[in-house]
């Protein structure tokens, strides 16, 4: 029973952290006027997918490993995107500028439905002040790494309980 409470707490923490980070991104965009670039928007999709898959795994326990595997892929995609974004920021000015991803990304259904969350309107080489010494993409990379490691641990340690002829077996 304690194992289930621990897994539930971890999955709920992932869900809350992902949606909290999306809320922080919206705050930075709408209140601080920090416009998201295409790489930022892709990271938002990765945070959303990581959180949604953790929520589905929380609800649908019989498929926890498979669903968290998809969440792990979303987190690893976020690590790659955020890592590339950190690299792009370290290059001389003008390394990114207008991105060819902007058009297709802004034409997605989700960008049309929720433009304030998923529409890329900024440039990825815009220098914003660091937060506690790290750039925003570097913090996103840290969070994606935390989510990926956490999901790996849950996948490795969780044993699905199945019932065979009325008896619960692991």
- The CATH number given to whatever domain includes residue 126 is 1.20.1550.10
Q: What is the pTM of this model?
A: 0.82
How many domains is the chain partitioned into structurally? 1
The answer to whether residues 81 and 42 touch, using CB atoms and an 8 Å cutoff, is yes
78 contacts 140 by C-beta, under 8 angstroms: yes
Rg of the chain on CA atoms, in Å = 18
Task: Please write the tens of the pLDDT for every residue from 53-92.
Answer: 999 998 887 788 888 999 999 999 999 999 988 888 887 6
Residue numbers of the domain that contains 77: 2-169
Under-70 pLDDT residues of the chain:
1-5, 92-100, 159-170
142: which DSSP letter? H
Q: Among 80, 63, 91, 98, which residue's Cα sits nearest to residue 140? A: 80
């Amino acid at each position: 029973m304690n194992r289930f409470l621990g897994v539930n707490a971890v999955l709920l923490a992932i869900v809350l952290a992902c949606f909290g980070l999306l809320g922080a991104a919206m705050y930075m965009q709408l209140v601080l006027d920090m416009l998201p670039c295409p790489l930022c928007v892709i990271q938002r999709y990765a945070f959303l997918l990581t959180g949604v898959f953790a929520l589905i795994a929380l609800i649908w326990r019989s498929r926890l490993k498979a669903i968290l595997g998809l969440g792990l892929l979303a987190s690893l995609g976020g690590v790659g995107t955020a890592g590339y974004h950190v690299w792009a920021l370290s290059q001389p000015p003008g390394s990114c500028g207008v991105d060819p991803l902007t058009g297709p990304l802004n034409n997605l259904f989700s960008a049309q439905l929720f433009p304030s969350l998923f529409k890329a309107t900024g440039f990825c080489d815009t220098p914003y002040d660091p937060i506690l010494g790290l750039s925003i993409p570097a913090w996103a990379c840290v969070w994606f790494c935390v989510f990926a490691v956490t999901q790996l641990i849950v996948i490795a340690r969780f044993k699905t309980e199945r019932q065979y002829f009325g008896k619960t077996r692991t």
